[in-house]
Amino acid sequence: MGSIVLPHLRSGWHVDQAILSESCRVVVLRFGKAGSASVMQMDEHLYKIADKIKKFASVYVVDNTEVPDFNAMYEIYDECTVMFFWRNKHIQVDFGTGNNNKINFAISSKDELIDIIETVYRGASKGKGLVVSPKDYSTKWLY
């Protein structure tokens, strides 16, 4: 439901413009097929935090079946993928999962998502291309 109010980027050009036009905020891109359960859950979180993070992040949603331009480049094969960009640079996040390029797993709370985006902003604004997530999302602690 939330994705209706989050700005939709409908072409590769629009995605590029969103990434290129932002000079002082993190660009948060959610890739995924509108209507899938994990996408709807992520969009709800993003919608609920958009106002809280607007000073340092802008959020966009991209239906990667409609805009497949970035699927190969960023290996977007999951149902729901969230990526971060700062001044036209992809910012990587170490989640402890072995994949530093994107969030492709469920985030359980809005606060967790805010913490991650704040961490990306703080690191990226200091010139870091890789930041460490405030929480370890590896499964090693589950066993």
pLDDT digits (tens, 9 = 90+) for 100-122: 999 999 898 999 999 999 999 99
Domain 2-134 CATH assignment equals 3.40.30.10: yes
Contacting residues for 57 by C-beta, under 8 A, at least 6 apart: 25, 26, 27, 28, 117, 120, 121
Domain residue extents for the chain = 2-134
Check residue 5 and give its pLDDT.
Answer: 82
Which amino acid is residue 85, in one-letter code? F
pTM over 0.85: yes
- Confidence (pLDDT) at 140: 60
Q: Which residues of the chain have pLDDT under 50?
A: 1-2, 143
Supply the Cα-derived Rg of the chain in whole angstroms.
14
pLDDT of residue 124: 98
Supply the pLDDT for residue 112.
96
